[in-house]
Amino acid sequence: MNAIATKQQRISIYFVVLFFLVVLPPTVFAQKGNKIRTVVIDAGHGGRDPGAVGKQSKEKNIVLDVALLTGTYIRKNLPDVKVIFTRSKDEFIELHRRAAIANENNADLFISIHCNASTDTKVYGAETFVMGEHKTEANLEVAKLENAAILLEENVSETYGGFDPNSAAAYIALSLYQTENKQQSIKIAQQVQEQFTRRVGRKDRSVQQAGFLVLYKTAMPSILVELGFITNATEEKFLMSEDGKAYMASAIYRAFREYKLQYDRENSAAPDIPEEWKEILAPDAAKAQKNEKKKDSIRRAGSDEPTENTTQKTNPKADSIVKPASKPVAKPETASPPAAVVFKVQFSTAPAKIALTDKRFANIEKADVYFHNGLYKYTSGSFSSFREATRHQAKMRAAGYTDAFVVAFEKGVRIDIDAKMRGN
């Protein structure tokens, strides 16, 4: 009997895997630029879907207020960021549509906001999820609870290929897909948790992984935030209060701000480098000429040739005297030269690796790729001089790659020019 059950389970998993391969292939888009410009904020549930229900509240109402507040803080303090809401009122939005809104708007980040529930009313605390394999039954239950929203949709079988949010086999198949944006998702999730615990004083339930349909179809770093348990009377009261909503929204905003500032700094164009730093970072023509003069001076000191600082007196008798051969001057010992810094021009990024033989790179000079911060980044050219690299950057921008910028590598590893200039 057990053998039969196991076989049936394997067959179920096979068909579910086939469903994800054919019906819901993961969407992949290349990231357009090098700054966080657009964020989609998703208030979970809504309309005929109340989400979790507490003694005095419904999840759909709390998360809508927090989502709108978060967007307001971002718009006020980060005016260069476009904020898009999946819903701004009490209405039902299908799970697949929420992800589609993010993809259609070429979002750089997707934040889905929810409240949790448990049969144990003593459980409380905030946690943030990324797409991945659940490690505990508790995480699986959270995913089941959130994914159950599809049961309120029309044409579920057609849209989701018969996906059963209560089937363990479905989640085994879903966990086989690991998003290319996972590391970036974890980074923003950790920053959210830090803000919740450090600034708002919530219990830290840490960053977790589980299979969420709303995250599966997004083509950018994505997180699902669980503000707390509205089945816990104390936490429900806090999340229902105006202060509680403001604190939680502020925490998400602050985490987003830190994530954006760090991401923009790491991916922004290299700064204008002061003259005194150019010799340290890249030996240009001026430094090469300076080194040549120094070598020439050493050679002259070793032979009796006059140097620029030598004053010769005219003495005919002295000219007729044959001078003994000078002792050879030992060459000064020099330390090993520092590793050369190589400059390249980055012109594109993508969550999935693209072969350099792809026709899209046909007209790119010395195309190369490196992996950094969870993304594959594509470069053109290779220069020992920052000045040469900036000239090539201008060419790339003129060719249509308007976000192209200079990056630097030392021993094959990308370095932070700003940090090097600060002496870090």
Q: What is the pLDDT of residues 336-387, one digit of tens each?
A: 445 588 999 988 877 678 888 888 888 899 999 998 766 788 899 999 888 8
CATH of domain 2-267: 3.40.630.40
Provide φ and ψ at 369, rounded to 5°.
-140, 145
Give mean pLDDT, residues 174-201. 82
Partnered with residue 371 across adjacent β-strands are 376
pLDDT at 171: 53
Residue 84 has pLDDT above 90, yes or no: yes
More confident residue, 16 or 398: 398
Confidence of residue 77 (pLDDT cuts 50, 70, 90): very high
Delimit the CATH 3.30.70.1070 region(s) of the chain: 339-422
pLDDT > 90? residue 30: no
Q: What confidence score (pLDDT) does residue 85 get? A: 98
Contacts of 63 (CB under 8 A, 6+ apart): 43, 44, 45, 51, 113, 114, 115, 227
pLDDT (tens digit per residue) in 386-415: 888 888 988 888 888 877 888 889 888 888
pLDDT of residue 110: 93
Q: Is the pLDDT of residue 118 over 50?
A: yes
pLDDT of residue 201: 94
pLDDT for 376 equals 82
Which class does domain 339-422 fall in? alpha beta
**Could you tell me which of 393, 334, 344 has the C-alpha nearest to residue 367?**
344
Kindly give, in sequence order, each residue whose CB lies less than 8 Å from that of residue 26, ignoring residues fewer than 6 positions away: 177, 179, 216, 217
| Whether the Cβ atoms of residue 222 and residue 29 lie closer than 8 Å to each other | no
Mean pLDDT of the chain: 74
In this prediction the pTM is 0.58
As a whole number of Å, the end-to-end CA separation of the chain is: 65
Is 138's pLDDT higher than 80?
Answer: no
Q: Is the pLDDT of residue 215 over 60?
A: yes
pLDDT in the model for residue 312: 40
Largest CA distance in the chain: 118
Backbone torsions φ then ψ of 98, nearest 5 degrees: -60, -45
Closest CA to 179 of 376, 352, 42: 352
Higher pLDDT among residues 241 and 416, named by residue: 241
Q: Looking at the DSSP assignment, which residues form a beta bridge with residue 197?
A: none
Q: In this predicted model, what pLDDT tens digit does every residue of 261-303 receive, in sequence order?
A: 888 877 765 444 445 444 444 444 445 555 655 655 655 555 4
